[in-house]
Amino acid sequence: MTVTTAGVLFILSLVVALVAVHRPFGDHLYRVVSGTRSARVERVIYRLVGVDPAAEQSWGTYARSVLAFSAVSILFLYGFQRVQDRLWLSLGFDPVVPHGAWNTAVSFVTNTNWQWYSGESTMGHLVQMAGLAVQNFVSAAVGIAVAVALVRGFARSRTGGLGNFWVDLTRITVRILLPVAVLGALALMAGGVVQNLSAGTDVTTLTGGTQTITGGPVASQEVIKELGTNGGGFYNVNSAHPFENPTAWTNWLEIFLILLIPFSLPRVFGRMIGQNRQGYAIAAVMAILALASVALTNVFELAGNGTVPQAVGAALEGKEVRFDVSNSATFAAATTLTSTGAVNSFHDSYTALGGMIPLVDMMLGEVAPGGVGSGLYGMLVLAVITVFVAGLMVGRTPEYVGKKIGSREIRFAALYFLVTPTLVLAGTAAAFTTGNNSTALNVGPHGLSEVLYAFTSASNNNGSAFAGITVNTTWWNTALGLCMLLGRFLPVVFVLALAGSLARQQPTPASEGTLPTHRPLFVGMVVGVTVVLVALTFLPALALGPLAEGL
């Protein structure tokens, strides 16, 4: 079996598995977010927090709840890192430096998981378990909750209520993320992923030296890192480490976990608005963009363009040989199509055009299928923009699933998509004008790509890196932390404002002037609008970086 054949079978098996679970798992998600009954453990949580589960929240109250919860989470995680030397299972590590603790706290609360540090030599086990892993659960739940609130805006009429954030957060965590994470952790442990509280084991290397191999609660963090599209690894080399990702089938499972919830959420959209075909249309847009990215990344990496790859016959630099070129390329595409950021290979070592595709995946807004929740609400905002653009072009009434798209709605949608490009381009320019680009390993086009990738990853809450750049400085940790913070919560506020505006409308019956939004034509239009938005915004930067290097 050739590498190409193995890679094709690997991708096809993923597609088949995702298609198979789309309906049953999507229906389970729908029942969880639409149900009215609370489990006993959920009622206990509501009493502890002081929440009335029957109370509805307006978009403003929902947004304030998201922001308040996230602010408290950042403060807690920051403090947790600063006192880790006094905690149980600290492994003797010093407190995390202030600018690093700030960056990490913001990173994990915003579902970014950008890591300036080596986890096995910086964070104690308790901080990993009770700090970072906990945020992997709740930050993912926040993303799904915001997406559900937007869908309620489409589904409801003449009301100011979008549900209750605290109820959504609790149910999603308890009924969806925790059960799947337990099953996934058991599967990873069976595959060889480490799960213990070991402070480390001293081993003798092949050269006769000694090395301490750190153990820890890896499997439990690994599964939610992928399932919640978080991406922060227990070890410095992330999913390329054999303790996190030992075999080809655990590699397959981790990619499947990354894509499971994002590709199932369009089913929730279809069921909540009572039009399953609308959900299938959104899923089709995601699938087209995702397959194109996976195919292009594989093609560019398997072609191995460049002097060294051509000389040795493959682009193997930075690849983990257990997974070969194709499975590494597929992982890279999946982790940047979503907001995961986990890596099983060194993106900085990719060929110029092969490394450009993960960069473009993030620039698309991570909507194919995107992060848990953020992918769906980003794609729905794109659908709103597409309907509006189509109305301008052909004179049709701008409506989407029974809701009029007026000036108020399009303003929120436009503001949503202006946030990330502003942060990416302003941040990249600031790095060069202040001389902080000097921490990049390379100069010229590749050096620009390294800086551009860092700000694109942070602003899109991805967390992956080209890794050819040193970011453990006060300037970088502060700048990237601000990008992560603004890149997460400004779009969330605009999405919830859009949801509130839609929920107050009365349904608009379809007419002869209504653009059908469940047919292949609309699917193609959304794909086109997505690509054109990115091309117009980022093409100059790409032309100076990866395109210049590749051509």
pLDDT digits (tens, 9 = 90+) for 62-86: 999 999 999 999 999 999 999 999 9
C-alpha to C-alpha distance for 231 and 222, rounded to whole angstroms: 8
Question: pLDDT-based confidence at 312, cuts 50/70/90?
Answer: low
- pLDDT of 349 reads 86
Distance CA 104, CA 100 (A): 6
Q: Look up residue 22 and give its amino acid.
A: H
The predicted structure's pLDDT at residue 99: 95
Higher-pLDDT residue of 526 and 214 is: 526
> 487 near 516, Cβ under 8 Å?
no
Q: Are 383 and 530 in contact (CB under 8 A)?
A: no
Separation between Cα atoms, residue 31 and residue 49, nearest integer Å = 24
Beta strands (DSSP E) in 56-123 are none
Q: What is the mean pLDDT of residues 215-241?
A: 93
Query: For tokens 């699938």, what's the residue?
Result: 287
**406 found inside a domain:** yes
CA–CA distance, 538 with 202 (Å, rounded to integer):
48
Kindly state whether residue 178 falls inside one of the protein's structural domains. no
What is the DSSP annotation of 283-312? HHHHHHHHHHHHHHHHHHHHHT-SHHHHHH
Please state, in angstroms and rounded to a whole number, the distance separating the CA atoms of residues 245 and 247: 6
Average pLDDT, the chain: 91
Q: How many helices and strands (H and E) does the chain possess?
A: 21, 4
- Tell whether the torsion through CA atoms of 81, 86, 89 and 94 is positive or negative: positive
What pLDDT, on a 0 to 100 scale, did the predictor assign at position 398?
87
Total count of domains within the chain: 1
Higher local confidence (pLDDT), 442 or 369: 369
- Alpha-carbon span 255 to 227, nearest angstrom: 9
Q: CB pairs under 8 A, 24+ apart, for 82-86?
A: 84/123, 84/124, 84/126, 84/127
Q: What single-letter amino acid sits at 257? A: L
Instruction: Report the run of H or E that residue 61 belongs to, with start and end.
Output: helix 59-82
- Are the CB atoms for 479 and 430 separated by under 8 Å? yes
**What Rg, from alpha-carbon coordinates, does the chain have?**
23
Q: Distances from the Cα of 58 to the Cαs of 65, 374, 438, 494, 497, in angstroms?
A: 11, 20, 47, 14, 9
In whole angstroms, what is the distance from residue 243 CA to residue 403 CA? Answer: 50
* Contact of 279 with 523, CB cutoff 8 Å: no
1 has a pLDDT exceeding 50:
no
Q: Which residue has the higher pLDDT, 73 or 4?
A: 73
pLDDT score at 304: 73
Only one residue has tokens 């969880």, namely 32
Burial of 42 (0-12, 13-18, 19+ CB in 10 A): middle
Give the tokens for residue 190: 């069976």
pLDDT confidence of residue 319:
84
Model-level pTM?
Answer: 0.95
Q: Is residue 346 included in any domain, yes or no?
A: no
DSSP 358-369: HHHHHHTTSTTT
User: Which H helix or E strand runs over 140?
Assistant: helix 134-155
The CB density around residue 313, as the number of other CB atoms within 10 Å, is: 8
Triad 215, 220, 226: Cα angle to 5°: 115
Is 181 or 514 the better-scoring residue by pLDDT?
Answer: 181
In a domain, 534, yes or no: yes
Checking if the pLDDT of 29 tops 80, the result is: yes
pLDDT, tens digit (0-9, with 9 covering 90-100), for 424-451: 999 999 999 998 888 877 778 888 889 9
What does the alpha-carbon distance between residue 328 and residue 349 come to, in Å, rounded to a whole number?
A: 12
CA atoms within 13 A on the CB side of 124: 20
Range 253-280 average pLDDT: 97
Q: Which residue matches tokens 């029942």? A: 31
Number of C-beta neighbours around residue 159 at 10 A: 14
Q: How far apart are CA 94 and CA 401, in angstroms?
A: 54
Share of the chain above pLDDT 70, in %: 97
pLDDT surpasses 90 at 183: yes
Residue 108 lies in a domain: no
pLDDT of residue 150 exceeding 60: yes
One-letter identity of residue 61: T
Q: How many residues does the chain have?
A: 551
Identify the H or E element spanning 391: helix 374-394
- Looking at residue 196, the DSSP 8-state letter turns out to be S
SS3 110: coil
Domain of residue 465 covers: 370-550
Residue 515 lies in a domain: yes
**523 within a domain of the structure (yes/no):** yes
Contact 409, 423 (CB under 8 A): no
DSSP label at residue 516? P
If you average pLDDT over residues 244-257, what whole number do you get? Answer: 96
What is residue 309's predicted lDDT score, i.e. its pLDDT?
A: 65
Summarised one tens digit per residue, pLDDT across range 456-507 is 999 999 988 887 788 889 999 999 999 999 999 999 999 999 999 999 999 8
Is residue 509 included in any domain, yes or no? yes
H or E segment at 179? helix 178-190
